[in-house]
Amino acid sequence: MRSARGVTLIELLVTVAIAVILMTAVVPSFRDTFIRNRLTNITNTFMGALTYARTEAIRRGQSITLCKSSDGNACTSSGKNWEIGWIAFIDSDRNGTRDTASSSTETVLRIWPSLPTGYTLRPNANFDNFLRYNPRGEANNLGTFAICHQNQLVGAKAIVIDRPRPRLGHDSDNNRIPEDYSGDIASCFTS
């Protein structure tokens, strides 16, 4: 007689237990990788928006403004929450807000959607509502934008606005918190 070959219940339970232990170790790593990649993607998108606005200001010989906007048409003036989305537009009167009258020459050039839930894009005190580039490609102000997940400074990203062009905030002390002009960014709420 041939004996039946198969897996015993004990062998199956041991295999499942090992799989659960391995998944417990691997899943948080995948989550952290996903968050880091999304932060990098958001940082690259905002850096691209800044570069776009600066380039268009030089190319067109006009002031181009980036402002936070939840509807893709008008600038939002309350709060520091750039994660709601933003727009680039020709700022004819250089006041940092888009004139939405039908005869306005303040054309929206590009619209960026809101960030995924849990991610924030916040400026320091210098950029509450807008950032404008003049026809020479110079920013109207200097400062920093912080990009965070769940308001965590560790692992956050920073974009520092300099006169000639924006740059990524570095982490020279290797504490995983990006730096602005004065050292580590202090907050994910206001950079």
Q: pLDDT tens-digit profile of 84-137? A: 999 999 999 999 889 887 667 899 999 999 999 999 999 987 676 899 999 999
CA dist., res. 80 & res. 116, Å (int): 16
Residue 191, pLDDT above cutoff 50: no
| Cα angle value 92/97/100 (rounded, 5°) | 80
Q: What is the mean pLDDT of the chain?
A: 89
| Tens-digit pLDDT profile for residues 52-92 | 999 999 999 999 999 999 999 999 888 789 999 999 999 99
Domains of the chain: residue spans and CATH: 38-184 (3.55.40.10)
Determine the residue type at 163.
Answer: R
